[in-house]
Chains A and B, each alone.
Chain A
Amino acid sequence: MSAEPVRAVAPWVRTRLRTAPGAAWAFSLLVLVTAFLAAALPRAVDVYETEGLRHDLATAPPRLTVLDITSPPPPPDLARESREAGMRPDQLAKDRAELEKLLPAPLRVDPEESVHGVRTVQRVIGLDPWLPQPYKLPPEFTLTAPSGLAEHATVREGRLPTKADPAEGTSEAAVTVETAKSLRLKVGSVVHVPARFSSTPLAVTVTGIVEPVRSQGGYWSAEPLLRTPVYALKPGGDGTRFYWQAALLLAPAGGPVLLSGTGDPELYWRLAPASGHLTAQDEPRLSAAIASLSGGPGLVKVREAVGRSGAVATGLDELVGAYRSLRAAVAPVVAVATFGIGAVAAVVLAMTGGLFAGRRAAELALLRSRGGSVAGIGVRLLGETGVLALPAAGLGLLLATLALPGARFLPALLAAGAVALLAVAVLPLRALFLHRGPLTHGGREDLADARPSKGRTVAELTLLVLAVGAVVALRRRGTADAGDYLVSAAPVLVALIAALVLVRLYPLPLRWAARPARRLRGAVGYLSLARAGRSSATGTLPLLALLVALTTAAFGGSVLAGVADARDRAALRETGADARVAGNAEAMPLPAGLARAVRGAAGVRDVTTFQVEYGIPLPVGTGRAAETRGVPLIGVEPESYERIARRTGFGPFAASLLKSTGTGGRIDPERVLPAVASPGVAARLGTEPQEIAAAAGTFKVRIVAVRTATPALSGADFLLVNGADLTNRADTALLASGPSLDGGALRKAVAAKSPDFSVALRTERRAAYVDSPMQSGAESIYLAAIGAGAGYAVLAVLLSLLQTSPERATLLARLRTMGLTRRQGRRLLGLEALPQALLAAVGGTLVGWATILLLAPGVDLGRLALSATPGLAGLDGVPLRADPWSLGLPAAGVVVLAGAAAAVQAWWSGRRGSIKELRAGDAR
């Protein structure tokens, strides 16, 4: 047998695959891509969620993330030796090792950034008069004996401290370069701090000046004072007295020295958590671990290790909580895209099965009538699809795993497996359903039943009732408590309802229209209407695919548009215009000529300068509002300011309202200036003129207009007057507008005038909102969903055209023998395709719109749009709104695509001969 070129008994699967290699490749490719997308989606979500968690923990200030475990020193009733022994570095290191061991998983310590030691809880004052005392206030020191200083600092001068003598009350210490500079410390300086039970103060000798390594890491930044001294305001008094706070880094053995100081020594283990190993799935366990540590079994164990009064403090729980809520806000929105794209892909796969089964109907009927059993044919078809789909799906899974490392495998496997299962099973199932009994020979295949079968009607009605029930339940319950799959499946459900209803309803008007069309002159109009009106049986699946794809695109587009819009608004709200120039400190007047320089910078169209004075105390006034803290007073140049307000849409008002009273520069507390105020300020001041006492002048204001927002400031409260009327005129900030303004040029212009002024650009603020991987990840998933949805929609259109193309080719051939010209043929196909395309387009638009209406109450894009919600006035919540472009564009695309496909088919069948289609006895 093997000598023969062709085997007499055909190996089924191989023969079939060789017969239609094109279809086989196309099918494999479709399965490959679909499996890849299916596997990639959960992995991508995993990846961005994991990245989000790590990013949140890694970028949070270390003071929030560290686990700060503290314990008072050994009690005073112990002998001094044993107290000191409990504070020695070796004992602390032992405790730390024990602590690290008892941390519940998945908490893990980053040893690089963790530190332990002894420190003073209270700052102690420096007694030496040579220390800087700006307001005659002595500097205050935190004394701390941290571990691992050698690894975390490079010595600039001197050497690291090593010696300490608790009995003498002396210790060596290091200070950072910054501390040394601010407190005028040098190697060899001796700082004295008070001792508790003795008149001889403790003496701390500075032996080294060091430079922190990784100053932003947990070691140095969990308590920034360690590296950077603070020029602090003295509490109490008149609020204008400042003094220095700084840290002295004692030798490791210096801890016991603190026992004799006044600063309440404390043992501490500041464990920085590692985040690199965490995944999004660890979040619940992480929360539980933190809760256990801060007040549960974990804490008990900590106390067993460090003593009965041990305590754990951390801000980690809040960080993880914030992450959890962001994830919970983002997940349902992403799930909508997931469900949509999943449904479209499933429908398209089902359609390919239908297409193959339809194309091979004659062959399968022959097999069945020649004695093929249902099981036998099913197994053969399974073999065919399995040989193609399983390796393709496996490859897709592999690619997805390689493309997106660091995510769970199981969900990806399940998703790709589902794709493979669907791809493998749909052709056999469909074929077996069609050929469950043998088909009689010579049965007609072109019978387009006007009415689909009863069984189908019942099945569709059941589906319809279920879907309507689900949507009604959703509507009743509201989508606000989002997070379950019913909400996310809503677009698919609505599209399903629409597809089922539309497919049944749309032939009716077409049939009505066909009747009058019969009387028209040309046959083409009537023919196409009549055919379109009778082809309802074919269309549910493609229509469903199109509707879901369009809905997903509309929803996704609206989400993206809403997010972009919210970011635009927020960025504009923050800067007030395209650019804002202000001093690095409050109340710095704009240098002369700066406004002119800005006006001359590239791309700047309009500039307004104004003066802001913060913290003006408000009189009680006639209003009955609760107490407001000081509000900012803004003096503006009404004309140009109003232009900017109008352009940004933030509280525009008629410039004439703030017309100058001509009293500028005068000191006259009795004059009354018109003012625009925020609602809070207006409620407080009431309608009568009220006295305002500010550095800019003392005068009375009368509220002439109330606005919720104004460009000059992003806060909720303000009082706006004409700057020309102020007694002390000094503009402090400037807003520049110009859509294409050149930030670099602007910065250069400003820097040339003064180094103390900085430029905030709207575009830069805008870009800063996308910093979290959660947001950018969710957004890219949306983009991908829209793209893939569009791809599948195109495929659905092509598949449905392919399915009906032999029938249409025959029709065209027959009509051509009756004298149909090519042009008429083109028109016929185009007109016939048009109703369905229009139906899909209009239906898709309506369904998308309905879905957005349905889901809008439960979707707040705020979390998705703005990472660090800055609490900007005039921007409360970001509701989901239907974006006309997202609704209209894909729908128009469908119509264009269907038209183009019909034209191509007409052209193609016009080129080919029509002999095959005209064979006698062919029942098509």
Chain B
Amino acid sequence: MTTTDTSQTSGAFGANEATGATGAGAGATSTSRSAPTSLSELERRAAARRDRPSYGHGALIACDRLVRIFTTDGVEVQALQGLDLLVEEGELMALVGASGSGKSTLMNILAGLDVPTAGAAKVAGRDLLAMDAKARLRYRRDVVGFVWQQTARNLLPYLTGAQNVSLPMQLRGGRSSRAKKAARAEELLTMLGVADCRDRRPHQMSGGQQQRVAIAVALANNPSVLLADEPTGELDSATGEQVFAAFRRANEELGTTIVIVTHDQAVASEVRRTVAIRDGRTSSEVLRRTEVDEEGQESLVAREYAMLDRAGRLQLPAEYTEALGMEHRVMLELERDHIGVWPDDEER
């Protein structure tokens, strides 16, 4: 890695790089107030709307207003409250958020282990709400792989590293021979730098090794998506670094799309895109890219964006609204290249 992280935008909106929210991925909603509308223009627009790709077209993961409600002993908990998320194929992204914000719930849904209460979710073209048990099983076998936080819970304790990696292939069935499975396991372990763990059982491996073998397990069936829920949570930062490097390798060499839930700032700051979840909704995201300035110096620039959902809803950070005393309603003004938001002066 040659870039250096020059900006650490820890939630500071309106930092000088931020040139205005453009609503990442949201469909264009701006209309010109004064444009004349002819019939042909209307026809053209209607055609454009028809041909326009549906929400999340082209994205590998597309969550649209996802809702998940848990009911225990008559008490309802809304873990996801209309979450929107798009992930492009080949992306390596991180999900962050306070404890209880619904990250694990989302991961369980994406992993095909849980079913959302409402909304829409598509992964690699499969509708997570419409799948029956069989399709769900196929989905888990072919489309996703996952790594959880508890190192001990990702691997079967009585199987060696290689056997653990072959297990999903075994479970999936199919024609590939034992030798092929073994070779694939070997290949994955080598790629992730844990070839020496091939004949060791999990209790003979370190935590980092266990997690890397777990990544190999998750990749065994060559899934399109790899989900990881706090994979470095039990590890020290150096080991976490190694594990993250393993993810990156998988992403780069196999092209697997990877979604990592993490509390670890180091991890969050190493990915191109970090989406924050608040109260069961995506609230903001940080995009990072390397910029080359006039002197030819490379620097990593991070920009933080607020999310605009399909209904046009925008979450304003609490610090901002409190600072300006915004409550109940605000005044909007559409300018040429941005929208202005002012406190409601009627009330004052």
Contacts and interface: CB of A to CB of B under 8 A. Distances in A.
A370 B168 contact: yes
B140 interface: yes
A818 interface: no
Contact of B217 (A12, A370, A920): A370
Contact of B171 (A1, A8, A370): A370
A373 B166 contact: no
B112 A376 contact: no
Interface stretch (A306-314, A434-442, A738-746, A760-768): A434-442
Chain A interface size band reads 35 or more
A19 B170 CA distance: 19
B113 A440 contact: yes
B221 A371 contact: yes
A362 interface: yes
B269 interface: no
Contact of B166 (A8, A371, A441, A449): A8
B285 interface: no
Contacts of B169: 9
A369 interface: yes
Interface in B141-170: 141, 146, 148-150, 152-154, 156-160, 162-163, 166-170
Contacts of A9: 163, 166, 169-170, 178, 181-182
Interface string A428-447: 00000000011111100001
Nearest to A437: B133
A10 B234 contact: no
B185 interface: yes
B113 A439 contact: yes
Contact of B229 (A366, A372, A437, A441): A441
A920 to B, nearest CB: 7
A771 interface: no
Interface string A353-381: 00000000011001101111100100000
Contacts of B170: 9-10, 12
Nearest to A920: B234
A85 to B, nearest CB: 89
B113 A441 contact: yes
Nearest to A18: B158
Contacts of B166: 8-10
Contact of A438 (B104, B112, B199, B229): B112
A1 B140 CA distance: 29
Given A370-B140, A921-B149, A921-B233, A10 B179 contact: no
A679 to B, nearest CB: 71
Contacts of A16: 158
Nearest to B114: A440
B168 A8 contact: no
A6 interface: yes
B199 A5 contact: yes
Contacts of A8: 160, 162-163, 166, 178, 181-182, 185-186, 198
Contact of A6 (B149, B163, B234): B163
Contacts of A366: 153-154, 156
Contacts of A376: 171, 173
Interface in A370-394: 370-373, 376
A536 to B, nearest CB: 15
Given A441-B148, A921-B150, A371 B168 contact: yes
A434 to B, nearest CB: 15
Interface string A92-121: 000000000000000000000000000000
Contacts of B146: 369, 441
Contact of B153 (A19, A362, A451): A362
A372 B163 contact: no
Contacts of A1: 178-179, 182
A924 to B, nearest CB: 11
Contact of A15 (B107, B158, B173, B234): B158
Contact of B172 (A362, A371, A919): A371
Nearest to B166: A9
Nearest to B177: A9
A920 B182 CA distance: 34
Interface string A906-924: 0000000000000111100
B239 interface: no
A919 B149 CA distance: 12
B299 interface: no
B171 A6 contact: no
A7 interface: yes
A369 B113 contact: yes
Nearest to B185: A8
Contacts of B104: 441-442
B4 to A, nearest CB: 33
A451 B74 CA distance: 11
B171 A7 contact: no
Contacts of B341: none
Interface string B125-150: 00000000100110011000010111
A372 B171 contact: yes
A438 B167 contact: no
A369 B179 CA distance: 25
A440 B181 CA distance: 27
Contact of B163 (A15, A439, A450, A920): A15
Given A9-B178, A441-B229, A449 B73 contact: yes
Given A370-B217, A437-B133, A921-B234, A15 B171 contact: no
B169 to A, nearest CB: 8
Contacts of B167: 10, 367, 370
B195 to A, nearest CB: 12
Contacts of B162: 6, 8
Interface string B212-245: 0000010001000000010001100000000000
B111 interface: yes
A9 B220 CA distance: 13
B108 interface: yes
Contacts of A6: 160, 162-163, 199
Contact of B140 (A19, A371, A442): A371
Nearest to A372: B171
A7 B140 contact: no
Contacts of B149: 921
A451 B148 CA distance: 31
Contacts of B73: 449-451
A363 B182 contact: no
B279 to A, nearest CB: 19
Contacts of B186: 8
Contacts of B172: 371
Contacts of B178: 1, 7-9
Nearest to B229: A441
Taking each of A8, A19, A363, A437, which has the highest tally of chain B beta carbons within 10 Å of its own beta carbon?
Answer: A8
A370 B185 CA distance: 15
A369 B163 contact: no
A568 B198 CA distance: 74
Interface in A1-27: 1, 4-10, 12, 15-16, 18-20
Contact of A367 (B136, B171, B221, B229): B171
A363 B233 CA distance: 21
Given A8-B198, A437-B133, A438-B112, 10 more contacts: A1-B178, A1-B182, A9-B163, A9-B178, A9-B182, A10-B167, A15-B159, A438-B113, A919-B152, A920-B234
Closest 9 pairs (CB-CB, A-B): A8-B182, A371-B141, A19-B158, A10-B163, A8-B162, A440-B108, A372-B171, A9-B166, A440-B114
12 contacts: A7-B182, A8-B181, A8-B198, A10-B166, A20-B158, A371-B140, A373-B171, A438-B136, A451-B73, A919-B150, A921-B150, A921-B234
Interface of A: 1, 4-10, 12, 15-16, 18-20, 362-363, 366-367, 369-373, 376, 437-442, 447, 449-451, 919-922
Interface of B: 72-73, 104, 107-108, 111-114, 133, 136-137, 140-141, 146, 148-150, 152-154, 156-160, 162-163, 166-173, 178-179, 181-182, 185-186, 198-199, 217, 221, 229, 233-234
